[in-house]
């Protein structure tokens, strides 16, 4: 069991399935949990138990980030951990995706993480150091046809993670990433209700549960991972091995 007693963690996209799972897991481990989302943040905060705070956060808004960090510090003190979990997905190919949707995906998945690290770093310096965990994807490790915006944003997120890790290392701030396989959440399905990426031919032929992926993220945020920065943890169910005939 990981112990985050006295640590303050902010989780973006906390109203989603994985975000809500992470909020509960960190609260159960003793953390001061800041539940950040555009909607349902107070509802999820009430469900997490422990010491928690719900805040409205659109990750693409610099002013929202400033307000979220200020409120976290007022309630709990400096921020120790940031989980960049918020994500947006739009199905579309290189030729078919509307440009405004491409930009929305990149703004949420990439620019949102940049703004989060930028807003959190000064608070973490006050705490004497900290941890950022970016929730990436197997779409950031392999071609994802039909998901060109999502894949582009996740590949770019890897570059952001590495640059930030090198820039912030001497401040005691670690920046790492977790690459999940397909998680059993609404993001795994298209508008028609069909799964976006069939998993029958994966080495482990099923979607991951939110709790399984939360295990990796909680570890990456913990002191047990204290010697890792700029690192990528792949939790892909064997996706990278290729299809099993």
Region 101-124: mean pLDDT is 98
Q: How far apart are CA 89 and CA 50, in angstroms?
A: 31
Q: How far apart are CA 129 and CA 72, in angstroms?
A: 16
pLDDT at 41: 97
Active-site annotation, residues: 150
Beta bridge partners of 92: 147
Region 175-189: mean pLDDT is 88
pLDDT band, very low/low/confident/very high, at 166 (cuts 50, 70, 90): very high
Q: Is the confidence at residue 182, as pLDDT, over 90?
A: no
Q: Domain 8-239, what architecture?
A: 3-Layer(aba) Sandwich (3.40)
pLDDT digits (tens, 9 = 90+) for 59-72: 999 999 999 999 99
pLDDT at 128: 98
Q: Is the confidence at residue 1, as pLDDT, over 80?
A: no
Region 107-125: mean pLDDT is 98
| Domain boundary assignment for the chain | 8-239
Q: Is the confidence at residue 26, as pLDDT, over 90?
A: yes
pLDDT digits (tens, 9 = 90+) for 148-163: 999 999 999 999 999 9
Which position has the token pair 């401040």?
171
pLDDT at 179: 98
Q: Chain-wide mean pLDDT for the chain? A: 95
pLDDT band, very low/low/confident/very high, at 94 (cuts 50, 70, 90): very high
Q: How far apart are CA 15 and CA 34, in angstroms?
A: 12
Region 162-172: mean pLDDT is 98
45 CB burial (10 A radius; 0-12, 13-18, 19+): buried
């Amino acid at each position: 069991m990981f112990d985050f007693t006295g640590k303050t963690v902010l989780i973006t996209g906390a109203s989603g399935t994985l975000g809500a799972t992470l909020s509960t897991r960190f609260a159960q481990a003793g953390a001061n949990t800041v539940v950040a989302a555009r909607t349902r943040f107070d509802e999820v905060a009430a469900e997490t138990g422990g010491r928690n705070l719900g805040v409205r956060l659109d990750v693409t808004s610099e002013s929202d980030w400033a307000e979220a960090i200020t409120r976290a510090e007022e309630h709990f003190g400096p921020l120790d951990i940031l989980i960049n979990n918020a994500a947006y997905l739009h199905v579309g190919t290189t030729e078919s995706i509307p440009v405004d949707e491409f930009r929305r995906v990149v703004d949420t998945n990439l620019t949102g993480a940049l703004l989060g690290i930028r807003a959190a770093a000064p608070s973490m310096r006050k705490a004497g150091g900290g941890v950022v965990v970016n929730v990436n994807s197997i779409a950031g490790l392999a071609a994802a046809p039909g998901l060109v915006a999502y894949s582009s944003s996740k590949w770019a997120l890897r570059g952001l993670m590495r640059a930030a890790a090198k820039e912030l290392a001497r401040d005691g701030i670690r920046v790492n990433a977790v690459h999940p396989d397909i998680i059993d959440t609404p993001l795994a399905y298209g508008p028609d209700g069909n799964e976006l990426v069939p998993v029958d031919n994966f080495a482990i032929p099923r979607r991951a549960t939110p709790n399984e992926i939360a295990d990796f993220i909680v570890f990456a945020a913990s002191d047990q991972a204290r010697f890792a920065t700029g690192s990528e943890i792949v939790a892909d169910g064997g996706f990278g091995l290729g299809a099993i005939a």
